Structure formats: C-alpha cells, structure tokens
Copies of this chain bind each other. A is one copy, B any other.
Amino acid sequence: MINDKLPKIWYGGDYNPEQWDAPTWAEDERMFKLAGIDVATINVFSWAMLQPDEDTYDFSFLDAQMDRLYKSGTYVCLATSTAAHPAWMARKYPEVTQVDVKGRKRKFGGRHNSNMNSPIYRKFAERLASKLAERYKDHPALVAWHINNEISNYDYSEQSAAAFRVWLKKRYGSLDVVNKVWNTRFWGHTFYDWDEIVLPSELSEEWDGNNTNFQGLSLDFRRFMNDAHLECYLLEYNAIKKHCPNVQITTNLMGFYPGLNYFEWAEHLDVISWDNYPALDTPVSFTAMSHDLMRGLKSGQPFMLMEQTPSQQNWQPYNSLKRPGVMRLWSYQAVAHGADTVLFFQLRRSVGACEKYHGAVIEHVGHEHTRVFRETAELGRELQLLGDELLDARGEAKVGILYDWENRWAVELSSGPSVGLDYVNEIHKYYDALYQENIEADLIGLKEDFSKYKVIIAPVLYMLKPGVKEKIEAFVKAGGTFVTTYFSGIVNENDIVTLGGYPGELRNLLGIWAEEIDSLLPEMSNEIVMEKSWGELNGSYKCNLLCDLIHAEGAEVLARYGSDFYQGMPVLTANSFGEGKAYYVATSPDAAFLRGFLGNLCAEQNILPLVKAPEGIESVQRVKNGVSYLFLLNHTNGELSADIGSTERTDLLTGNKVSGTAAIPAHGVLILSDKK
C-alpha cells in the first residue's frame, strides 16, 4: 500500500491552485467531493513562486493550500517543482539553461529545460527539495512525494562535456580502454587526452536523431545522461528521505520513453508512477504492454497511474474525445495491469498557455453538468466501493518478455541493416500475440529473476551484456523455454561485434549459425513454410523486414524460407539445451504465425489462456492472498461474451455471480473475484 492513510485506489490528479483564486478553490472542493476525488498532486511547477529570488523562499501559499486541501478531505502528492527553473535563475545564471543537440545555447523557456550538470541548478534543486521535506514531512495531507516531472531531454553544454569526461574516467579508468571499447582506430579517432573527447551532437558525431558515427560513444553518452539525470533525482530523493523517511517517493515516468533507462531508475523509486497518453490509434495492446513494462520495473510491484486525460489531449495532431465509457475502461485497464491509483492530468483546465485545451475533470464551463464530469464521478463512486480489495494484488504471469533500454539504444543507433527495424515494435508484435491469445505476460528487465517464468521471449536481443548469456543458458538448462530472433547476440555492451559468427554468444544455446542478414525493402516479403503441422501452425506465413540466412548446427528445423535465393534455408529452429529448449525466429513474422507459435509454446508448458474470448476482449488477472481478480475489458462498441470457465466468480462492481459465459457490455468492465 502506498500510504495507509488512504487504503483505497487513489483518485484525483494534477492540480494547480496557484493559477486560481479563493472562490474557485471553494468550487474545487465542492466538485472534488462530488467526484470522489481524494488526492491532488500539487506544486509541480511552482519554483518561481516558492523562490522569487536567489535568497528568498516563501512557502505561505503552499502552506495554505496543504491545510485547505487537508481540511476539505483531499490528500496531497507533493511535487518538488524542479522540472522548470525560474526565469530569474536563467537570467542570473545562464549556465542553468541547456545547449541542445544542434549546438545552440538555449534561453529561458519551456520546461525540462535545466542543464542537469549545472552545479547551480543542482544546488538550488536539492535545496528546494530539502526545504519542502523539512517543512511538510509531518503534514497530515501528505501521502507521497513527486520529484521533478517527466524527467527528459539531453544537454550538450561544456559542463556536461566535462562531467562526461569524469564519468568516462570512472567507468573505464584509462583512455586506452576508451579507445578500445569505442574502436577509435576506425576513421583515426584515437584520443590522446581526455579533453579531446566532445559530446556526440550535430556538431560532432551525430545527426538526425539516432544516427552516429561512433555507436560506442553515443551509447555511453546516453548512459551518462541517464546517470546525470538520476544523480539530480537522487540529490532530491536523499534530501527528502533525510527528513521524511516514511513517505514514498516517486517521479512520473513515461512508459517506453526512449531517453532514460528506467530499470536503473526503478531501484531508486519507492513506487513507480507513470503518465499514460495513448492516441486514438494506439493499439490497446500497446497500452497494456506499457502498463506491464511499468509494473515490471519493480518486479511486479503495483504502480501509480500518475496522469491520464479524462477526455482529450491538446498536443496530439488530432485531439479526439475519449468516447463515452472509454475513460472508465482505460482506467480499469490500468488497474488490471497493476495500478493502485487513477490520477488525471488535470483536475481543472487552465485558462491560458499551451495546455488549456487538455481535458480536465473540471472543464472551462466550471460546473459539474458535463459528460466528462459525470463519467468521472461515476468512476469515483466505484473506486470508493472497491475500497482496498485490489490494493497490492499482483499478476502471476509465466511468460516474460525481455525489454532493455540499452539494447534499444544500440539497435536504434545501429548503422544498418535496415531503417525499418523498430525494437519496440518488434517487442509489441510478440506481446500482442500473447495478448490476443489471452495469455498473461510480464515485461522484464535483464536483472529479473528468470526462474519465475516458464517461457522467456527476447526479440532482437542485439546486445548481450556480461552475464546475460550465462543467465539465459541457466534458465534453459533448468527447463525453461527461450525464444529469440534475428539480429540477436551480435554485440557486447559497447556495441562491439562478437566475432566467430552470429548470433555470437548465443550460438551454442541456439544451435545455429546466421551467415548473412538480408534486408527487405518495405514492399518485399518472404514466407515461413512449416516443415510439418505443429498445433495450429500449418502451411506458410508471411515475414518481412530482415531475414537471417541461418544454418542449423544441432537445432531442429521447424520451418524454412519459401522464396528468394535462400528458399529452403531454416527460418525457425528449436534447440534442446539441458532440460529446456531455445527457439530462433530468423525473421519478422506476421501475427498469425506468432499467435500460433507462442500459443504452442505456452500450451506445451501448460500455460493456459485466462479465458476464451473474441477479439476486442482483454483479459488480465491480479491475485492477492489466494484470491484472483479476473478483469474482462471490452474495447469494442458492442456487447461481447467470454467463456470464463466453470468457477463461479463475483463481479466486484455489481455483486453479480458469474460463471461460464460472461457478457461484457460495450466499453464495459467486469472485475470477477473468485473469493468464496
């Protein structure tokens, strides 16, 4: 439980009383009550108000808001305001603004705009967090700390360059090692002095986003930026913990945001929180996967849904409304995947600046007689009904999908073999196949305990860091089923190729050799032709993107290419290894193949679908104290039914008893407990 002051699914969201006046605050209180809102995230962007100049701090406004909210029954998730420095600071200390990837020194403006390697910025940020913690540590309204906000952006200032050199010295000890791991003999880039190393920007080695001349340098720069941001975060974290050790601390993450390695952050967050902003055309299984990734950051620990919109965004190209029922449906989707809070951005729409057309619980009209408010209030009532029943319940997936940010960076920075290769998209293909089969999966990092799983899938495991091979081999040896794909095992943690034949360190485990990698033009495809029927797999399937030309070296060939000059070469292999099996998928298959393939693997491991249900139904399960809560979510416009088996279950929202066929209304939700 995040905080036992509030033993239920928290409900509320971002709230900016500093943009309003007392009569409006009174209306807020009235409407929060109507909507069942019990948590407000405040102080997210108030630095300029709290510290009007270098020497002055003024907490009077915040004091009053904390008290007021507490009195009106609203708890506070208290932010530290460090996501945007004040204008006076940018003017007095230009070093706090960033230099961008184009080499341009920025002026005051925007947010996420601070040079995280500026000592001035660090000093002021830490000091502010410390003062806040000291002042509010015992405030009765306080239920959680929220550091900064959606931490992001890279900096290319000279201060960051200097810090990078220090970071490199610490990591590698000597320039000789740096030259070696970056392979600087290439293009004669040997460094003889640390100060010769410059950051990889458009002025040096990078261009157009993820293009670089030196993958090793660019990878280390990303690691360094991750660490620099994390250092800043920890300055605040430790300052708060010192004063206030018992309230959980978080910072709101952003799902698959590419810039930071959240697995490293997770160790330093008491609880994960994240902001969920699917677009109208985001596949619902992608949202589900994002929740599972956030849940996986701390090995299944429930997380906070820190932000979502009640209605629409403002920053997408076309900001369509969430259709009636969809806000509720997607809120329960979050809960189903492990969220113990349902929080919005934002509780009241602002009147000016760039987020004023972002949806809010309280719209510009200001009263409660809106569709959005009504839906919000209905959900508020339900969450009160649910009480603490679901809190801390966890999933019990037996399938893990490996996801690794450093691997993603390396894949994206790779020059060749195909610009069509999108790591997250390939991960999603496998996730989606399981999702459609109603089989639970976890998104897991490399440090996860593999023994929790029967099947581990690692699409495009391009980079093998030290110890990973051993860990995978141990998993398979002990009886696990492992699946990987083309473009795996190619490089080490510095993007240096493992010689001796692809897939490098995984060759032995997989029993194959990938001699060549063919890149298909977007309009091209090949076929996966099954050697014989296997479960639902039969005949041939489409594949595209990349085709490894592989040779079986001990592995069984389950399917072969259907065309081109490598027609007949293996495309799907299985290799027995110890008690387990390791599969290699040499190309990017279509959805039908993946559903059949993963369905077969799970069936063989006795991993069964949660339900039998038509497309459009999502099934998820959380378990606590031996009781399972089965969520059935209908993502379509019409009523659908699912076969939940013979066990009688109780719908937590209606009290209805259900077994056999369960009908789920359009955009509806069932939460079915098997508690006796």
A residues sitting closer than 8 Å to B (CB atoms) are: 16, 18-19, 45-49, 52-53, 81, 84, 86-88, 90-91, 102-111, 181-193, 195-198, 200-205, 212-216, 280-281, 311-321, 323-324, 349-358, 363-366, 370-372, 414-420, 494-497, 499-502, 513, 515-522, 549, 565
Contacts and interface: CB of A to CB of B under 8 A. Distances in A.
- The listed residue with most B CB atoms (<10 A of its CB), out of A53, A185, A204, is A185
A535 to B, nearest CB: 33
Given A370-B515, A499-B351, A87 B19 contact: no
Contact of A84 (B189, B202, B565): B189
A45 B418 CA distance: 26
Contact of A420 (B318, B414, B519): B318
Contacts of A52: 190, 192
Contact of A186 (B45, B364, B516): B45
Contacts of A494: 352
B318 A352 contact: no
B104 A203 contact: yes
Given A314-B417, A321-B518, A419-B318, A188 B86 contact: yes
A495 B417 CA distance: 43
Contact of A499 (B49, B321, B364): B364
A516 B324 CA distance: 12
Contact of A188 (B46, B103, B187, B192): B46
Contact of A324 (B187, B204, B565): B565
- The listed residue with most B CB atoms (<10 A of its CB), out of A317, A371, A519, is A519
Contacts of A313: 416
A190 B87 contact: yes
A205 B110 contact: yes
A187 B87 contact: no
9 smallest CB-CB distances across A and B, nearest first, come from A183-B352, A109-B204, A314-B416, A357-B416, A365-B501, A87-B196, A186-B353, A48-B190, A45-B188
Given A91-B195, A365-B502, A500-B366, A187 B107 contact: no
B87 A366 contact: no
Contacts of A184: 48, 353
B185 A49 contact: yes
A516 B371 contact: yes
B183 A353 contact: yes
B213 A110 contact: yes
A405 to B, nearest CB: 20
B109 A200 contact: yes
Given A110-B205, A521-B280, A497 B356 contact: yes
Contacts of A91: 193, 195-196
A87 B192 contact: yes
Contacts of A181: 352
A198 B111 CA distance: 15
A414 B105 CA distance: 26
A418 B212 contact: no
A28 to B, nearest CB: 13
A414 B357 contact: yes
Contact of A354 (B212, B312, B565): B212
Nearest to A110: B213
B520 A318 contact: yes
Given A108-B198, A319-B519, A352-B497, 8 more contacts: A181-B352, A318-B522, A319-B416, A321-B518, A349-B497, A354-B415, A363-B516, A372-B516
Contacts of A321: 516-519
Contacts of A88: 192-193, 196
Contacts of A190: 48-49, 52, 86-87
A306 to B, nearest CB: 17
B48 A215 contact: no
B521 A355 contact: no
- The listed residue with most B CB atoms (<10 A of its CB), out of A181, A192, A419, is A192
B45 A519 contact: no
A266 B465 CA distance: 50
Nearest to A323: B565
Contacts of A53: 192
A102 B103 CA distance: 11
A21 to B, nearest CB: 11
Contacts of A549: 371
Given A416-B315, A521-B280, A186 B350 contact: yes
13 contacts: A46-B188, A49-B185, A49-B190, A84-B188, A87-B190, A104-B202, A110-B204, A110-B205, A183-B353, A215-B353, A313-B416, A319-B416, A352-B494
A443 B530 CA distance: 52
Given A188-B47, A371-B516, A522-B318, A107 B204 contact: yes
Nearest to A161: B107
Contacts of A355: 186, 415
Nearest to A497: B351
Contacts of A352: 181-183, 186, 215-216, 494-497
Contact of A109 (B185, B198, B501): B198
Contacts of A188: 45-49, 81, 84, 86
A111 B349 CA distance: 44
Contacts of A203: 104-107, 109
Nearest to A182: B352
A107 B497 contact: no
A583 B191 CA distance: 61
B49 A204 contact: no
A366 B216 contact: no
B311 A516 contact: yes
Contacts of A18: 185
Contacts of A311: 516
A479 B204 CA distance: 57
B516 A417 contact: no
- The listed residue with most B CB atoms (<10 A of its CB), out of A106, A196, A212, is A196
B106 A353 contact: no
B372 A417 contact: no
Contacts of A47: 188
A497 B416 CA distance: 46
A548 to B, nearest CB: 11
A111 B90 CA distance: 34
